[in-house]
Amino acid sequence: MRCPGCGTDDDRVVDSRPALAGDAIRRRRECRSCGLRFTTFERVELPELAVRKRSGRLVAFDRARVLDGMARAAKGRVDLPDLESAAAEVERELRALGGREVSSEQVGLQVLQQLRTLDDVAYVRFASVYKDFQGPEDFELELSSLRKAAPPKTA
């Protein structure tokens, strides 16, 4: 690693420790030439994950967009940190499928699964857009399947 002080490419690592909740390794380095200490981060580069839209178009998976959609459905009901970890979980689940390409349906279903565990209202709001509800009977249907799937939480 080139020293930011003198530009010499000769350092020794004086300390390594996990950073950012285990997603990265932080290394303290010391330049052998000028003695300057500096820090580098090493993190895993995940392979690209692509989403096949209904139109057939392929776009890069974007966790921020997933989070955005979830936040809109959960507006005023779920805290952002909870939504952020749910969006991370969506990405983990999609990557766990093992392919480099997922369909937008698979993304939507993962989002629904996460919202279901967070908040029923957010879940139904998202479902109404995702499943393209046409009328109140669609909501009723979704709600009854929700009640069947999981007994209502005792608040």
Nearer to Zn ion, 32 or 147 (CB): 32
User: Among 86, 78, 85, 79, which residue's Cα sits nearest to residue 122?
Assistant: 78
Count of residues in the chain: 155
Interface with Zn ion (CB under 5 A), residue from 1, 20, 34, 58: 34
Nearer to Zn ion, 34 or 58 (CB): 34
- Measure the CA angle with vertex 118, ends 49 and 88; round to 5°: 25
Say whether residue 59 binds Zn ion (CB under 5 A).
Answer: no
Q: Residue 14 interacts with Zn ion (CB under 5 A)?
A: no
Quote the CA–CA distance of 31 and 155 in Å, as a whole number: 57
Q: Is 115 in the site for Zn ion (CB under 5 A)?
A: no
Question: Which residues make up the interface to Zn ion (CB under 5 A)?
Answer: 3, 5-6, 8, 31, 33-34, 36
